[in-house]
Amino acid sequence: MSRAEAPDAHSDNRSDDRFGAHPDGPPGTPPAAHPIVRARELVKTHHGEGAPVKAVRGVDLDIERGEFVAVTGPSGAGKSTLLHLLGGLQRPDSGGIWFDGTSLDSYGEAQWAVLRRRRIGIVFQFFNLVSNLTVADNVELPALLAGRGPKRARADRAELLEELGLAGKERSMPGELSGGEQQRVSVARAFVNRPLILLADEPTGNLDSQMARGVMEMLEEINAEGTTIVMVTHDSNIVNQMRRRVIEIENGQIVRDQARGVYG
């Protein structure tokens, strides 16, 4: 990976370390009472080929550390758009987002990129793997960009791929894998830097039920170790087995938010 391909690699220092365990003071200070993510009055319009689409229409949301939130709702409701706003992949027309108590209103692309590299993992609905890199490199790259040594990056990658049933696929290119395999690679990539929060867009959407269970078990393990998870899913079986917080989106708005919810 050359500097030209990673234009902000040189600025990838620990400048965002206030988003750690002690955001408000020296070590020993109790964790702050901020939600890990706060959104207020988020509005987002897509300007595509046709008429503008108001995909998110005034969303207020607090997500606390350690939560495992399922975001449900019909296709086209605005779930992916909301997730993209929370990950800084799209910018709202209006409204604000706070991460661990810090407003991100003034964050530019580079600051968001550093935040994503260190603190926010994203599993995309359509994987977004780098097609001309091997499976191993797709997973190791974020670790290397975050400053991990090559040995450690390799070891972490090997462990994650093994856990996700992908041992032996390290040298494959993404295009040689099934949808389900690519999805699991994208879970490994999103988690390799142990983010504070994982945003996952239908992470089991392309998996058969056994594989889906495997990915869910892994997400639950990650969550039990402290990573907050926000997962978009259509799958009522999964939601109803989880019995965790369920947020339902319809027409760009939260229509239901239940602590130990069910869906469908």
Ligand X SMILES: Nc1ncnc2c1ncn2[C@@H]1O[C@H](COP(=O)(O)OP(=O)(O)O)[C@@H](O)[C@H]1O
Residues found near Mg ion in the complex (CB under 5 A): 80
153, 158, 163, 164 alpha-carbon torsion, rounded to 10°: 90
Residue 139: name the closest of 209, 191, 103, 99 by CA: 191
**Which value, in Å, is the radius of gyration of the alpha carbons in the chain?**
18
Q: Which of 35, 59, 78, 215 binds ligand X (CB under 6 A)?
A: 78
75 is an interface residue for ligand X by CB under 6 A: yes
Looking at the Cβ atoms of 7 and 74, the one nearer to Mg ion is: 74
- Element spanning 248, H or E: strand 245-250
Q: Which is nearer to ligand X, 4 or 51 (CB)?
A: 51
Stretch of 73-81, 127-135, 144-152, 173-181 lying at the interface with ligand X (CB under 6 A): 73-81
**Residue whose beta carbon is closest to ligand X:** 48
Which of the residues 24 through 63 are near ligand X (CB under 6 A)? 46, 48, 53, 55
One of 80, 182, 193, 233 touching ligand X (CB under 6 A): 80
DSSP state of 108: -
Long-range contacts of 162-170 (CB under 8 A, 24+ apart): 163/218, 164/188, 164/214, 164/215, 164/218, 165/211, 165/214, 166/135, 169/135, 170/134, 170/135, 170/136
List phi, psi (to 5°) of 35.
-65, 155
Q: Which does 75 bind (CB under 5 to 8 A by kind): ligand X, Mg ion, none?
A: ligand X
Nearer to ligand X, 53 or 173 (CB): 53
Indicate the helix (H) or strand (E) that contains 56: strand 53-63
By rule CB under 6 A, what count of residues binds ligand X? 12
**What does the DSSP 8-state code read for residue 10?**
G
* Smallest separation, CB 77 to Mg ion (Å): 8
Check residue 92 for interaction with ligand X (CB under 6 A). Answer: no
Nearer to ligand X, 2 or 75 (CB): 75
Which C-beta is closer to Mg ion: that of 154 or that of 234? 234
Residues found near ligand X in the complex (CB under 6 A): 46, 48, 53, 55, 73, 75-81
